[in-house]
Chain A
Amino acid sequence: MMVHSKQRNSVIVRIAGAAGDGIASAGEFFGKICARQGLHIMAYNAYQSAIRGGHVWLQLHVGSEKTLTHGEKPDVAILLNRTSPAVHIPDMKSGGVVFYNSSLITEDLSKMRDDLTYHHFPFLETVNVPGATAVMANTMLVGCLIEVLGINHELGLDVIRERYSKKGVEIVDLNSKVFERGMEWAQQNAKRFDLALKGDGKKRMFLTGNHAFGMGFLAHGLKFYAAYPMSPSTGILHYLATKAKSHKIVVKQTEDELAAVNFIIGAAHAGVRTATATSGGGFALMTEGIGLAGMLEEPIVVVNVQRGGPSTGIPTKQEQGDLNQMLGASQGEFSRIVLAPTDTEDAFHTAGRALNLAEKYQVPVLILSDLFLSEHFQTCVPFQVKQPIERGKIQNSVNGQYKRFLITDDGISPRLLPGTPGGMYCSPSDEHDEEGIVTSDVLAGLPEARELRIKLQSKRMRKLEAIRREEMRPPTLTGPQDAEFTLMGWGSTYDAIEEACQIFAQFGTKVNHLHFTDLFPLPTEKVLEILNSCKEVIGVEGNYTGQMAKLIRMETGFHIKRSVNRFDGEPFTGEDIYNRVKKELAYV
């Protein structure tokens, strides 16, 4: 199926090679150039949990208009190593162009497919600029791409200048020469694409969801971040670590995730805005701490960047398999919030919103990201802080007896920051009374303690109802009102589902899109109302069991009977959803 056939204002480029070939860095370089021209890019990096030796590729979908996913079949491929042809040539769009490294790839590729154009690109030999090294072949490759795609090469030279200015003029000149050599080579050997790639001139950022989470935290008052490295969440740690000194925040790599979550509970207790991030396995270790934050009513934010599970699973691959874990994390019942941002920009704002909600309601806020959202690069217009910092009820002095767990109508008790004269109290993980005095040992079971238990547990749980009522956003419903059916998704699949709806529209089928970001507590009545307005709902989830559909059924009684589920480790694209839904609909 050809989605992009009628209007060539977008192109899909794939760069493939060995881990360690510098593909990610070449992609970032190319992406920045396009972003400066005001083009849109959605890039997806396919890699493995190996530093060298694996086969990796980067797919960039570049367009004059917003490209919603990285797309399926490449128009252009750059193949750098011997493993590449067998993996990527079958994927190419018919009529596509392949540049390959003929220093390493020696077989006759036209035998594999004869509907593609092949250019052998002797990377090493062609560099030929005195002083140039093998890694600079990537710079040359980007020059070549820029030329065949008809992108303004001056922007490339600008980016080179900025990238290498710290290393001195010579390095800048050398890279510029290599880059221009790539352009010249393309002029002599390849044809310029028949494309209308027009930028709108807006300078966009080219960044990942993890950058956006980190930046979002930083921009909304985060002061303390603790984490233990775990793919695909580590980008947040890396980003914030570079900002620690300049923004006067403390960033701490702890000995494990048990420590990370408990460090931030300690910091939150002191009155600091704080967060941690991990992936499923690390999140499992944080579980007991999340319950502690529930009991002590501490405002913490925990990001779980999902990867393929169970157990160590597929560390570098995509899945939406941890929703149940977020809902069920830790023993007993307590108020919590689960949010799943839709895209890179939403990651930025969700980080701020999570910090606000955590402090306002003194609850753990859990953010569900995934490998795709956290690690794919895309272009975004620079973000702007939209939400003022809201810290909720904090009192600065004590008048009479301070009660940390004062029973209130909304369940929220004013916080008093430790260190305030006259306010001493102890927050215990055991059940306690309003003052924080433990009622779970010598008093346990006595009528007085039972009554207090009911009061305190109800107070903590009342917050959940306030959150549901005041804060939780209902799912968005986009697309035609009279749609034949509705695709339901959550979190990072937003753009892919939008793309699928567009494809359906091209084929004359009216489909709309129901999307959840606020997963728990669900604003039940509104959700049900919207669901009831849909003709037929089909779940689209990156997991085996349809966890969101189950949550919806549990909370609202609404049964989403059909679903398409992807759990092979790859992210959804519009085309892929389209095909899966068609197949699902074929079974009646």
Chain B
Amino acid sequence: MSSEVKDFNHKVAPDWCPGCGDFGLLAGLKKALPSVSLETHDVMVVSGIGCSSNLPGFINTYGLHTLHGRSLPIAQGFKLANHKMTVVAVGGDGDGYGIGVGHLVHAMRRNIDMTYLVMNNSIYGLTTGQTSPTSGFQMKTKSTPFGNPELPLNPLTLALGSGCGFVARVYTGHVTQLIDIVQKAIKHPGFALIDTFSPCVTFNKINTHQYYKENVKDINKLGHNPSDLYAAFREATREDCITTGIFYQSDRPCYEASEEETLREPLFAHKLGISREEETALMAEFV
């Protein structure tokens, strides 16, 4: 049995504003999943809180729609308990780079096999337009009416510096590139971060669809070699244009390799309890 895109359609229609960049991401994800031979029940989509984090309610897979900033610990715990399923975490820039950034750094160095899609709109959408960790310097938002005095965080260099084995960025309006990168990220055996430019048409009048359409350049088309970490840093910090594509991919083993014996069977399927002999042995240690 093989699945089709329509199998992933949910009866609940997204409640995002018309034109929201998150529609593009949802469409791309729904196309990417069947193309890597996944059935609807093979996939667990985990999110935090935010407009973008509502996504698990709009896709017909298993889903967990959790707490603001906590999608990654939940997704990782789930993955270790059932590593046969494909785990995709999704959320916003506030969710992943603000309140949840501590988890992100550790998830990247830990390298559990999962994909993380951040719908980065450089704004807090659900809470109606405050500054986010990726809002530009001097950007005016509801919480920074006189301009944002802080510098934006660069998710790509953060990822590269944290040992992330798959680092990519894409604009959600570029569906073909998005699908291609999502497929590769899912197939990548380790933690994959895809930072996606997903414009908030309601609260961010700077980082618009128009803006990304005019300014992004696909570095993979420009001959970037994704196994070159230094080149990846360079591409991630370019100022002449906004770069997209796969910046870096390494082949370091994923976390699960360190639990090979234990995870021969998914943890949830293990037989529970201990034998009388094991019980005696546990006690004997203290006699």
Question: Interface 1/0s, chain A 426-455, versus B by CB < 8 A?
Answer: 111110000011100110000000000000
CA distance A265 to B70 in the complex (A): 11
Question: Interface 1/0s, chain B 259-287, versus A by CB < 8 A?
Answer: 10111001110101110001110111011
A215 at the interface (CB under 8 A from B): yes
A70 at the interface (CB under 8 A from B): no
CA distance A427 to B81 in the complex (A): 17
Docked-complex contact A270 and B82, CB < 8 angstroms: yes
A463 at the interface (CB under 8 A from B): no
Docked-complex contact A270 and B78, CB < 8 angstroms: yes
For residue B85, which residues in chain A have a CB less than 8 angstroms away from its CB?
Answer: 270, 418-419
Docked-complex contact A292 and B63, CB < 8 angstroms: no
CA distance A417 to B69 in the complex (A): 24
Docked-complex contact A205 and B283, CB < 8 angstroms: yes
Most A Cβ at <10 Å: residue of B56, B61, B67, B69: B67
For residue B82, which residues in chain A have a CB less than 8 angstroms away from its CB?
Answer: 270-272, 417-419
* CB closest residue in chain B, given A381: B283
B250 at the interface (CB under 8 A from A): no
> Would you give the shortest CB distance from B220 to chain A, in whole angstroms?
32
* CB closest residue in chain A, given B265: A248
Check A224/B273 contact, CB under 8 A, given A211-B286, A270-B267, A385-B279. no
* CB closest residue in chain B, given A291: B67
Docked-complex contact B77 and A429, CB < 8 angstroms: no
Question: Interface 1/0s, chain A 247-288, versus B by CB < 8 A?
Answer: 111101011101111111111111111100000000000001
* CB closest residue in chain B, given A215: B282
Question: Interface 1/0s, chain B 24-48, versus A by CB < 8 A?
Answer: 0000000000000001111011100
Docked-complex contact B73 and A219, CB < 8 angstroms: no
Choice from A204, A223, A243, A429 contacting B67 with Cβ under 8 Å: A429
Check A264/B77 contact, CB under 8 A, given A269-B64, A426-B65, A441-B54. yes
For residue A211, which residues in chain B have a CB less than 8 angstroms away from its CB?
Answer: 286
For residue B283, which residues in chain A have a CB less than 8 angstroms away from its CB?
Answer: 205, 215, 382-383
> Would you give the shortest CB distance from A167 to chain B, in whole angstroms?
18
Total number of A residues with any Cβ neighbor in B under 8 Å = 73
For residue B39, which residues in chain A have a CB less than 8 angstroms away from its CB?
Answer: 421
Docked-complex contact A266 and B274, CB < 8 angstroms: no
Docked-complex contact A430 and B73, CB < 8 angstroms: no
CA distance A206 to B65 in the complex (A): 45
For residue A478, which residues in chain B have a CB less than 8 angstroms away from its CB?
Answer: none
CA distance A384 to B287 in the complex (A): 15
CA distance A421 to B278 in the complex (A): 36
B233 at the interface (CB under 8 A from A): no
Docked-complex contact B70 and A248, CB < 8 angstroms: no
* CB closest residue in chain A, given B15: A442
Docked-complex contact B70 and A204, CB < 8 angstroms: no
A218 at the interface (CB under 8 A from B): yes
CA distance A421 to B39 in the complex (A): 9
Check A272/B74 contact, CB under 8 A, given A427-B63, A430-B65. no
For residue A206, which residues in chain B have a CB less than 8 angstroms away from its CB?
Answer: 286-287
Which B residues between 50 and 95 are near A, CB-CB below 8 angstroms? 54, 56-57, 60-67, 69-70, 73-82, 84-85
A244 at the interface (CB under 8 A from B): yes
CA distance A270 to B266 in the complex (A): 10
> Would you give the shortest CB distance from B34 to chain A, in whole angstroms?
14
Docked-complex contact B274 and A218, CB < 8 angstroms: yes
B234 at the interface (CB under 8 A from A): no
Docked-complex contact A270 and B274, CB < 8 angstroms: no
Check A266/B46 contact, CB under 8 A, given A248-B270, A419-B85, A427-B65. yes
Choice from A248, A261, A289, A389 contacting B273 with Cβ under 8 Å: A389
For residue A263, which residues in chain B have a CB less than 8 angstroms away from its CB?
Answer: 73-74, 76-77, 80
Docked-complex contact A270 and B63, CB < 8 angstroms: no
B103 at the interface (CB under 8 A from A): yes
* CB closest residue in chain B, given A418: B62
> Would you give the shortest CB distance from A160 to chain B, in whole angstroms?
15
Docked-complex contact A267 and B273, CB < 8 angstroms: no
For residue B49, which residues in chain A have a CB less than 8 angstroms away from its CB?
Answer: 429
B102 at the interface (CB under 8 A from A): yes
B106 at the interface (CB under 8 A from A): yes
Choice from A203, A221, A267, A438 contacting B57 with Cβ under 8 Å: A438
For residue A199, which residues in chain B have a CB less than 8 angstroms away from its CB?
Answer: none
A423 at the interface (CB under 8 A from B): yes
B257 at the interface (CB under 8 A from A): no
Docked-complex contact B41 and A424, CB < 8 angstroms: yes
For residue B287, which residues in chain A have a CB less than 8 angstroms away from its CB?
Answer: 32, 35-36, 203-206, 382
* CB closest residue in chain B, given A208: B286
Docked-complex contact B77 and A248, CB < 8 angstroms: no
> Would you give the shortest CB distance from B127 to chain A, in whole angstroms?
13
CA distance A306 to B31 in the complex (A): 50
* CB closest residue in chain A, given B74: A266
A420 at the interface (CB under 8 A from B): yes
* CB closest residue in chain B, given A421: B41
Docked-complex contact A255 and B81, CB < 8 angstroms: no
For residue A427, which residues in chain B have a CB less than 8 angstroms away from its CB?
Answer: 63-65
Most B Cβ at <10 Å: residue of A205, A268, A426: A426
CA distance A243 to B282 in the complex (A): 9
CA distance A324 to B284 in the complex (A): 38
Choice from A215, A258, A274, A438 contacting B70 with Cβ under 8 Å: A258
Docked-complex contact B63 and A425, CB < 8 angstroms: yes
Check A221/B272 contact, CB under 8 A, given A262-B67, A418-B85, A438-B65. yes
> Would you give the shortest CB distance from B24 to chain A, in whole angstroms?
21
Check A259/B106 contact, CB under 8 A, given A254-B73, A269-B78. yes
* CB closest residue in chain A, given B284: A382
* CB closest residue in chain A, given B280: A382
For residue B76, which residues in chain A have a CB less than 8 angstroms away from its CB?
Answer: 263, 266
For residue B15, which residues in chain A have a CB less than 8 angstroms away from its CB?
Answer: 441-442
CA distance A220 to B65 in the complex (A): 30
Docked-complex contact B81 and A266, CB < 8 angstroms: yes
For residue A254, which residues in chain B have a CB less than 8 angstroms away from its CB?
Answer: 73, 106
Known contacts A272-B268, A418-B44; 17 additional CB pairs below 8 A are A224-B80, A248-B270, A262-B74, A263-B74, A266-B79, A269-B81, A273-B272, A289-B67, A383-B283, A417-B268, A423-B41, A425-B62, A427-B63, A429-B65, A438-B54, A438-B65, A442-B15
Could you pull out 25 A-B pairs where Cβ atoms are within 8 angstroms? A35-B287, A224-B77, A224-B81, A226-B77, A250-B81, A254-B73, A258-B103, A259-B73, A261-B73, A263-B80, A265-B74, A266-B79, A269-B78, A272-B81, A289-B70, A292-B66, A296-B66, A385-B273, A385-B279, A424-B63, A425-B62, A428-B57, A429-B49, A430-B65, A438-B57
